[in-house]
Structures are given as structure tokens and as C-alpha cells.
Amino acid sequence: MLRAQEQHFGAHNYAPLPVVFHRGKGVWLWDVEGRRYLDMMSAYSAVSFGHAHPRLLRALNDQAQRLALTSRAYSNDRLPLLLERLCAMFGFERALPVNTGLEAVETALKTVRKWAYKVKGVATDRAQIIACQGNFHGRSIAIVGMSSEPQYRDGFGPFPPGFKLIPYGDADALEAAITPDTAAFLVEAVQGEGGIIVPPAGYLARCAEICRRNNVLLIVDEVQTGLGRTGRLLACEHEGVHPDGLILGKALGGGLLPVSAFLADAAVMDVLHPGDHGSTFGGNPLGAAVALEVLDLLEETRPWENAARLGEHLMRRLADGAPPCVTAVRGRGLLVGIELDPRILDAATGAELLLARGIATKDTHHTVLRFAPPLVIDDAVLDAGIDVILDTLATASRRREHGPLHG
């Protein structure tokens, strides 16, 4: 009934898996019929501390009873604390708060373009931003305009000019693409939606050197990979890279609210002046209070250490026990993808088979199953989940003689 209502009254821009969730606690979800599922998605890495974390709920409830929203025409008593903490924790001089990751990316695009004109001296309307094939930075017109995914672009043009795409993981391609009009290189530390693609070792560090040498800003999108997901506080830390601009989101809101931010130093961010950019809900005291508690939890519990250890374990077990339908296992920390042979099992069907066994995940890029549980998952629960995943995929592989499994 509920799924039928959603289908009838809602726009058809999503195709949800056949389940209706009602409640969540820790790493678990329950549907309306009371069946329990292991959450191996974390709302695309937004629920890093698990569902209904008591400290995050307390921060949310306490602040909601005092002041939830006020215009940025005034200051509130939570936002300054959040801005200072963000800058101190990540080593930047300025932070600009918004709501969604898409907003944070758009904020970065606007800022680096204005920096190119006001600081670098690029001629008006000539600034160019380089991005990577296979990227996913959001779904606005500007962002899908720099996508290489045909579906994301189909029917939405014309797109704003000023973007150039290069292969992901190819630092030589970046160097060759830079011109005097290049403002910035926008890159994901790991491509999530693109199929959990980890770049070659040394890639990000070399890109940072190329950008520095050419007076090009390196902007790293860590909306999905940041805040411990890949086994470090930031994924770019794996190569010792400190970008010129950092985009955060998802987990910053504790799985309760949309909270995102763009961080940069004053030399970049101070090109913005009152009226240049804004957001009604960006920097609201409710979101700031929750984000502050998230940062407290990060510092106190260091969940990236659990992610590093269990991520290695997850990838090793998946690779060692891989049935014939699996062609590759890749990832970093607790952001892991299984590449499937579509002749045996397509990824969308794989996600439905896992859902029927109590594992909630989702396919991406047509052939990849992604696994990104809350960072608070423990060894025993993860191992039990891996057992189910391997058994489900092995069962599907044994049925391959009957032809491809597809929906």
C-alpha cells in the first residue's frame, strides 16, 4: 500500500528496492512488518555513527527546543562554534556552511571561478574547471553538465560552459588539460557512485603538485569519503594531501539532517562578499548543533581506525570467498564495491537478492554492489553479514546455467 502510494503520487525519479523501512537503531533497520535488515548502505555514507545515536539525538532535541532556525541576517550562538571547529580540525581558515553536498559543490564552483577572475587574472567568462570522467558531484544543471554518465545529461541541456573532463586516475591527463584559463581541478578521492573506483597510488599527491605548479586550485570532494569512511579522517590523507578547497557533507549531519560545508583559506574564500552567495537553511543552529556533536564523536572515538581495520577484513573475505559472479573487489576502508559479471548476475538483481536475505544495499554503475555500513559496526555483525553476502552470490552463481539473473 505504501509503495503504491509513493509510486502513484510521487515523481518517478527513484526506483526504490521492494521494502518500506520504519525504524533504525545502530547498524540495523526494520521494515513496517518488523523484519530486521543489516544496513550496508548508511544512506550513502551519511549514517556513519549508526541510526538513532543517543548523543546525536540529544543534541538535536536539546537545540530544537531552544532555536532551530534563524536567518543568516543574524548570527546564532551555534554556527560560530561549528565554523571554528571545522577550520581547526581540517586546517583551513574559512568555512562556508550549506545543506546538501550538491550545494557545497556549487559553492566551490562559484568560489573558484570568482577566484580565477579576481585573483588569478583570468579574462571574464573564460574560467575553466577540470573534472573527471565517471564523477558524481550531484545533480544540478551545472554538475550534470560535467558528468560523463549519459542518463544524467539526457534531456537536461543546454549546459553551462567552462568544464573539461579527463580520465580519472591519470595525472598526465590533468597536466595536459591545464591552460592559463584553468581555475581548478575538482576530484573525488574515491569515486563512489562511479563504481567505488580507487585511483592509483600517488595519484592525488601528483595532482596536488601539478596544481600548485600551475596556480590551479585543487578541490577535493569528500562528501562521501570524508569523516572516517575510508580509514582516515579524510581520504586525501592517505597520500598526505591538503587540498586548496575541501567539500564535506553527508556524515557531517549525523544521519539526522543535511549539513555540508566548503572549506578553503582566506586567499580563496575572501573573494566572496555579502550577497554573492547564500542559503536559507545553511548554517542554521539546529544543523550546527548536530554537526558539532558529530565532530566531538569523531575526535573522541576515531571511527576511521575501525573503518581501516574492518575494511581490510571485509575486502579480504569478499575476495577470498568470491564466487564466479564476482570479477573484482575494490575499495578503501568501509567503502567497498563488488564488481559482478552481468552474464551471471546483474547488480540490481543482486541487491534484491541480498535484500531478501536481510542485507540492505544498492547497486551502482550497473555492475557494482556497494557496501558501506555504519562505521560503528563490530566484527561479529560484519562477519555474519559477509557470510550472507557470499552465500547469496554463490547461490546466484550456481544458477548461471539457467541464463543471466536479471530483473
Pairing state between β 128-132 and 163-166: parallel
Cβ neighbors of 165 (< 8 A, separation 6 or more) are 130, 131, 132, 133, 135, 146, 148
Helices (H) and strands (E) in the chain, counts: 14, 15
The pair phi, psi for residue 336, each rounded to 5°, is -130, 140
Q: DSSP letters of 193-228? A: TTTSBPPPTTHHHHHHHHHHHTT-EEEEE-TTTTTT
Cell of 46: 551519511
Compute, in degrees rounded to 10, the torsion defined by CA atoms 157, 158, 160, 161. 120
Other C-beta atoms within 10 Å of 275: how many?
6
The residue whose grid cell reads 575501525 is 306
The rounded distance, in Å, linking the Cα atoms of 131 and 202 is 18
Catalytic positions, please?
Answer: 136, 221, 250
Say how many Å lie between the first and final Cα of the chain, rounded: 22
Which run of H or E residues covers position 61? helix 54-64
Q: How much is the CA Rg of the chain, to the nearest whole Å?
A: 21
Compute, in degrees rounded to 10, the torsion defined by CA atoms 197, 202, 204, 205. 170
Helices (H), 65-156: 79-90, 101-115, 141-145, 150-153
